C-alpha cells in the first residue's frame, strides 16, 4: 500500500473516532459502543469493488500486541498487595466465583448452543466473558463512596489481568494439539517451561528496571523506560519460548508493589497511553471480526448472554452470601458486566494469532503454522465476543439510568 494512503486511512479512522466521541457525549451513551458500531459499518464500505479501508496484517498485529501489552501492564500494576482490605477480598471472591462458573457452565452452553466441538475455544470465550469494565460506563456524580460501585471497580481491576492472561495460557495448550488429553500429556513439560520462563522474565526485568527507577526519575525518559520495559519483557519472554502476557503481568505487579519515584505520574502515563489506543482498537475490531449473522445466530447469542447474566448473579450470591447486600444491589451488579477495551484487545489479537499444530502427512507427524481463525468455531467465538460487548454496554447503560432504584445513587455515563 502507498504510505500516503496508509497514513490517510489511519487519520480518517482517528477522525471518525473523534466524531464518535462527540456523538456519544451528546447522546449520553458509552463511547466504545459507538466506536464498535462505527468499525462494523466502516468495514462494509467499498469503492470499485474494493474495501475502502485496507489495513495490512502486520499493522493490525502490531497494534494489537502494543495495546495488549499496555492493557495488561496497566491492569496488573493496579493490584497492590498492601491495599487488600475486606472489600477487596469480596471483589476477589466475586472474580473467582464468576470465573469458575463461566468455566463450568458457560463454556459447555457455548459448545452445545453453537455446536463448537473444540472445548478449548469455549474455555477461552468463557474466560474472556468473566472480565468486566464497569468504570468505562459508570461514575458517581458525587465523590462519596458507595459500596456497590466500589466493588464493581475493584472487580474490574482484579479480573482484567486474569481474563487477558488465561486465554493465552489456553492457547499454549492448543499448540501441537491433535486431541486435548494426548496433547496435554505430551506438552506438560514445554507448557510448564513457558510459565516458568514468563514469570522469570518478568521478575528479572522488573528487579533490574525498578531498582534503577527507585532512585532516578526523568520527566522525559522515565515514561519511555516504562513503555520500553513492558514491550521488552513481552518480546524477550516470547523469544525464549515463554508466555509474554504472563511476563508483562508479573512486571506490572512488580511496578505496582515496588517503590518507584513519581509512581503516580508514571502510572497515569501508562493508563493514558493504553486509553489512547482504544479508538483504534475498538474501531478496528469491526474490521477483523465480520458481523454477518443470521436471526438464528442472533437469537442464540441473546440466549447465551442471558445465561451469562444468570451465572453472574449466582457468582454475586455466592461471593457475598454473608455480606449485607440486598437483592436490588445484587441485580444491579449482575446487570453491570460491561465488556470493555480488554475484551476488544483479546478479540483483536486472537483474530491474527497463529498457532503451531501437528498434522499427519502420509502417516508422519509434522508441525505447521496456521491462523487461529482457521480452526472451526473460532469465527463464531470472535463474533460472540463482539456481540457480547455490545449487549453488555447497552444493558449497563440502561441500568445506569435507573441506578437510584437499585442503589439509591445517581450514576451518569462517562
Give the confidence band of 162 by pLDDT, cuts at 50, 70, 90. Answer: confident
Please state which of the ranges 92-96, 116-120, 190-194, 219-223 shows the lowest mean pLDDT.
Answer: 190-194
H or E element in which residue 190 lies: helix 180-215
Q: Between 267 and 340, where is the model more confident?
A: 340
Q: How many CB atoms lie within 10 A of CB 199?
A: 17
**How is residue 115 written as a grid cell?**
455446536
pLDDT attached to residue 409? 61
pLDDT digits (tens, 9 = 90+) for 22-73: 888 787 777 777 888 888 788 777 777 777 777 776 777 777 778 778 777 8
**Is residue 145 pLDDT above 60, yes or no?**
no
Eight-class DSSP state of 116:
-
For the CA atoms of 274, 278, 282, 283, the dihedral, rounded to the nearest 10 degrees, stands at -130
For the CA atoms of 51, 353, 1, 37, the dihedral, rounded to the nearest 10 degrees, stands at 40
Q: Are 191 and 242 in contact (CB under 8 A)?
A: no
Q: Are 324 and 404 in contact (CB under 8 A)?
A: no
Q: Between 407 and 2, where is the model more confident?
A: 407
Instruction: Determine the straight-line distance between the first and last CA of the chain, rounded to whole angstroms.
Output: 38
Q: Are 246 and 206 in contact (CB under 8 A)?
A: no
Structural domains for the chain = 3-412 (1.20.1530.20)
Question: Is the model's pTM score more than 0.85?
Answer: no
Please state which of the ranges 66-75, 106-115, 199-208, 232-241 shows the lowest mean pLDDT.
Answer: 66-75
Residue count of the chain: 414
- Residue keyed to cell 513519581: 262
Range 188-215 average pLDDT: 81
CA distances from 409 to 42, 45, 149, 265, 310 (A): 38, 43, 9, 31, 24
**How is residue 414 written as a grid cell?**
462517562
**How is residue 85 written as a grid cell?**
482490605
Instruction: Return the axis-axis angle of helices 31-43 and 341-350, rounded to nearest 10°.
Output: 30
pLDDT digits (tens, 9 = 90+) for 290-335: 666 788 988 999 999 999 999 999 999 888 766 667 888 888 889 8
What 3-state DSSP class applies to 219? coil
Contacts of 265 (CB under 8 A, 6+ apart): none
**Is residue 172 pLDDT above 80, yes or no?**
no
Amino acid at each position: 500500500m502507498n504510505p500516503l494512503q496508509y497514513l490517510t486511512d489511519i487519520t480518517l479512522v482517528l477522525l471518525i473516532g473523534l466524531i464518535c466521541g462527540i456523538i456519544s457525549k451528546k447522546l449520553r451513551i458509552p463511547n466504545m459502543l459507538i466506536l464498535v458500531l462505527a468499525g462494523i459499518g466502516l468495514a462494509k464500505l467499498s469503492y470499485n469493488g474494493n474495501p475502502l479501508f485496507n489495513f495490512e496484517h502486520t499493522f493490525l498485529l502490531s497494534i494489537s500486541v502494543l495495546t495488549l501489552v499496555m492493557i495488561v501492564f496497566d491492569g496488573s500494576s493496579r493490584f497492590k498487595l498492601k491495599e487488600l482490605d475486606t472489600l477487596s477480598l469480596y471483589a476477589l471472591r466475586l472474580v473467582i466465583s464468576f470465573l469458575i462458573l463461566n468455566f463450568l457452565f458457560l463454556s459447555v452452553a457455548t459448545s452445545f448452543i453453537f455446536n463448537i466441538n473444540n472445548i478449548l475455544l469455549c474455555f477461552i470465550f468463557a474466560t474472556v466473558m468473566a472480565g468486566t469494565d464497569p468504570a468505562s460506563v459508570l461514575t458517581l456524580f458525587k465523590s462519596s463512596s458507595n459500596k456497590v460501585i466500589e466493588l464493581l471497580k475493584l472487580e474490574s481491576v482484579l479480573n482484567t489481568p486474569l481474563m487477558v492472561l488465561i486465554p493465552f495460557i489456553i492457547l499454549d495448550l492448543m499448540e501441537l494439539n491433535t486431541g486435548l488429553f494426548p496433547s496435554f500429556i505430551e506438552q506438560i513439560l514445554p507448557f510448564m517451561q513457558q510459565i516458568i520462563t514468563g514469570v522469570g522474565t518478568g521478575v528479572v526485568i522488573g528487579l533490574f528496571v525498578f531498582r534503577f527507577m527507585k532512585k532516578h526519575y526523568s520527566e522525559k525518559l522515565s515514561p519511555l523506560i516504562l513503555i520500553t520495559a513492558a514491550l521488552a519483557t513481552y518480546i524477550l519472554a516470547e523469544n525464549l519460548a515463554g508466555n509474554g502476557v504472563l511476563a508483562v503481568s508479573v512486571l506490572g505487579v512488580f511496578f505496582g508493589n515496588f517503590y518507584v519515584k513519581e509512581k503516580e505520574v508514571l502510572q497515569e502515563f501508562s493508563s493514558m497511553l493504553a486509553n489512547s489506543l482504544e479508538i483504534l482498537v475498538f474501531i478496528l475490531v469491526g474490521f477483523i471480526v465480520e458481523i454477518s449473522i443470521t436471526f438464528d445466530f442472533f437469537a442464540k447469542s441473546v440466549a447465551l448472554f442471558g445465561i451469562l447474566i444468570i451465572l453472574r448473579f449466582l457468582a454475586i450470591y455466592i461471593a457475598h452470601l454473608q455480606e449485607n447486600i440486598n437483592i436490588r444491589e445484587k441485580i444491579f451488579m449482575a446487570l453491570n458486566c460491561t465488556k470493555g477495551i480488554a475484551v476488544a484487545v483479546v478479540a483483536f489479537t486472537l483474530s491474527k494469532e497463529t498457532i503451531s499444530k501437528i498434522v499427519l502427512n502420509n502417516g508422519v507427524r509434522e508441525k505447521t503454522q496456521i491462523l487461529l481463525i482457521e480452526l472451526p468455531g473460532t469465527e463464531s467465538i470472535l463474533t460472540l465476543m463482539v456481540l457480547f460487548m455490545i449487549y453488555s454496554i447497552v444493558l449497563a447503560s440502561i441500568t445506569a439510568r435507573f441506578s437510584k432504584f437499585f442503589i439509591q445513587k445517581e450514576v451518569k455515563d462517562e
